[in-house]
Chains A and B, each alone.
Chain A
Amino acid sequence: NAGVTQTPKFRVLKTGQSMTLLCAQDMNHEYMYWYRQDPGMGLRLIHYSVGEGTTAKGEVPDGYNVSRLKKQNFLLGLESAAPSQTSVYFCASNLGSTMNTEAFFGQGTRLTVV
């Protein structure tokens, strides 16, 4: 049971470099999310998707792009990394959006931009 898998787990980038974080889920979930976690601020939503081919902005979308070409995958892209994007990134998915739906999280990606 893989659940939600994030790739890579760790990455160091230089300012201005680009990269893509991959989130894959094998639970046939419609809803997928990308959050970032910073000390003292909890998790904040970057972008989300309510189904294949759809994406929407969350609370802190600037500097990020996403794509959901396949239902099982949700990609988060940084086109030109900045030190302010140093964070731990979490992907999550759930089957529906009702209030009692449990979210399943990936193990996180620790990104450092120098």
Chain B
Amino acid sequence: AQKITQTQPGMFVQEKEAVTLDCTYDTSDPSYGLFWYKQPSSGEMIFLIYQGSYDQQNATEGRYSLNFQKARKSANLVISASQLGDSAMYFCAMRDVNQGGKLIFGQGTELSVKP
């Protein structure tokens, strides 16, 4: 069965510094897609970045980048130059194309950015 694991329940980072949020995954499918979502205190789910299993390069979207290490089955989110507005819950997720395309989520990491 597919599984996503986020082992950092909470993290602190100083404003303007970079931070890495860990995500490991388990799947036997050769094709898979990995997503990161941000959930601010207001509650909505905001899509941040996507990485496909066959993508040759690590995904980047502005200050967000994904450190994809296929052999280690990890897909860590890197946020550069942290801002106070980055304080939120972050979820790593994998799409299960065999079950209606559902997303399988990790437990989440709560990031707090200190001024």
- For A, the interface residue count at a CB cutoff of 8 angstroms equals 30
Q: Which of B33, B45, B53, B95 contacts A90 (CB 8 A)?
A: B45
Closest to B31 in A: A99
Judge whether A103 and B50 touch: CB under 8 Å.
no
CB-based A-B contact count at 8 angstroms: 76
- For B115, list chain A residues within 8 Å (CB): none
- For A42, list chain B residues within 8 Å (CB): 4, 6, 91, 105-108
Q: Say what secondary structure dominates the interface of chain B.
A: loop
Interface 0/1 of A81-111, CB less than 8 Å to B: 0000000101010101111111101011010
B101 in the interface (beta carbon within 8 A): yes
Q: Which of B44, B45, B97 contacts A97 (CB 8 A)?
A: B97
Interface 0/1 of B31-46, CB less than 8 Å to A: 1110100000001110
Sample 8 A-B pairs with CB under 8 A, ordered by A number: A33-B100, A41-B107, A42-B105, A48-B102, A50-B101, A88-B43, A99-B95, A108-B45
